[in-house]
Amino acid sequence: MGDLGGFFMKQFIGFLRKEFLHIFRDPRTMVIIFGIPIVQLMLFGKVISTDIQNVKIGILDQSHDNTTKKITSKLLSSGYFVLAKELQPGEDVEEVFRKGIAKMVVNFGPNFEQNLERDGKQDVQLLADASDPNTARILTSYAGGIINDYVKKEKLQNIQLPNQINIEVRMLYNEGLKSVYMFVPGIMAMILMLISAMMTSISISKEKELGTMEVLLASPLKPIQIVLGKVTPYLLLSFINALTIILLGVFVFGVPIKGSFFLLMGESFLFIMMALSLGILISTVAPNQMVAMFISLLGLMLPTILLSGFIFPIRNMPLPLQIVSNIIPPRWFIVIIRNIMLKGTGILYIWKETLVLVFMSFTFIALSIKNFKIRLE
């Protein structure tokens, strides 16, 4: 029995050696496995970021009193804004936008401090370049927040206004509303789907396409050895990628891991297993590499990007899409990752999502076995 087991392992190791040769000899595979994860994370983290940072603004100060100067310095020291130009009264404000000098202009009217202290109320005009409406909205709300905050704390302490409701907003778990916090879990889900599901399905259907699968099946290799041999390299590589993404997230983008690191890796492992079984399932349906790639891209990548809550919140989707999103595995994984990394919750709060992933894995494996048997008969 020991000899038989040894032979089984030798066959398996020989198979693995071949698989790694395939991977390391194919530049496209190498790029997908090692290039794309890093590029994606950098792209989403740095370039497509919706964060406001060092945005150029203009100041049109018609009072030049203490209060306006303090507010200006508050704005400029917030890190969100830098001063591009001080405008003089009567200057053409639109010119600033047209020439692209600034994205927003803050206009303090004359006698700002006097009016504020006398009436307890004074207007500030915020002009924003709304050719990019999203950014304009965020800029004005940030600036408005900073100004109000200053006025309330410094100026209105002694003035009691009846029935005034102060709304204090605190963004828990992501106080800076940093979009990279949202992207790291999403990108992890996407990359792991890409490598585990897509690469496995392509690699298995490649053997079918080239006719080598029949040779393997006619050999003493057991089907389980073939499947494990195909899947193990991608399991390893996916795991390395999961680690890389988390490390980049933590050390480059400062995303916290508030919960247990081991739980995080355990859940990642579960998700990888789920994606691998999905990859096997795809390969039982796809007759060649092309089809496998299309099924993976259209059937997995698009829903992962659009329906998993990675970019668009599920709550804002029309009801039918919300229902569909339930069968998208990354949807559950993203919830798990956000909970562990940002909220620091333990397994007690994510056991439902975990069970969904376990259930999905078993379903995909069962379907694969069924398809495989039909093919053999």
Partner 1 sequence: MNPYPDFRQKSPPLEGLGEANQKVIEVRDLVKKFGSFVANDHLNFDVYKGEIFGFLGANGAGKTTAMKILCGLSSPTSGKVKVAGFDIYKETEKVKRNIGYMSQKFSLYEDLTIAENIRFYSGIYGIKPAERKVKMEQLLKNLDIESARDSLIGSLPLGWKQKLAFSVAIFHDPKIVFLDEPTGGVDPITRRKFWDLIYEASDRGITVFVTTHYMDEAEYCNRVSIMNEGKIEALDTPENLKQQYGVKNMDEVFLKIARNKE
Applying CB under 8 A, among 31, 48, 82, 217 the residue interacting with partner 1 is: 217
Asked whether 350 and 340 are in contact (CB, 8 A), the reply is: yes
Q: How many residues make contact with partner 1 (CB under 8 A)?
A: 25
| 98: phi then psi, degrees, rounded to nearest 5 | -60, -40
Q: Which among 219-227, 244-252, 275-283, 293-301 is the span making contact with partner 1, rule CB under 8 A? A: 219-227
Answer yes or no whether residue 210 interacts with partner 1 by CB under 8 A: yes
- Taking residue 56's Cβ as centre, other Cβ atoms within 10 Å add up to 15
18 binds partner 1 (CB under 8 A): yes
For residue 178, the minimal CB distance to partner 1 (Å) is 43
- Using the rule CB under 8 A, is 9 a contact of partner 1? no
Q: Does 15 bind partner 1 (CB under 8 A)?
A: yes
Subset of residues 273 to 332 that bind partner 1, contact rule: CB under 8 A = none
What SS3 state is found at 219?
A: coil
DSSP, residue by residue, 308-360: SSSSS-GGGS-HHHHHHHTT-HHHHHHHHHHIIIII---HHHHHHHHHHHHHH
Q: Does 91 bind partner 1 (CB under 8 A)?
A: no
Instruction: Supply the minimum distance, in Å, between the C-beta of residue 280 and partner 1.
Output: 19
199 in Cβ contact with 277 (< 8 Å): no
At position 87, the amino acid (one-letter code) is: L
Task: Report, in Å, the least distance between residue 13 CB and partner 1.
Answer: 8
Rule CB under 8 A: choose which of 2, 89, 162, 211 binds partner 1. Answer: 211
Residues 160 and 146: beta-carbon distance below 8 Å = no
Torsion of CA 229, 234, 240, 245, to 10 degrees: -170
Q: Is 28 a binder of partner 1 (CB under 8 A)?
A: no
- Give the binding site for partner 1 (CB under 8 A): 7, 10-11, 13-15, 17-18, 21-22, 25-26, 210-212, 214-221, 376-377
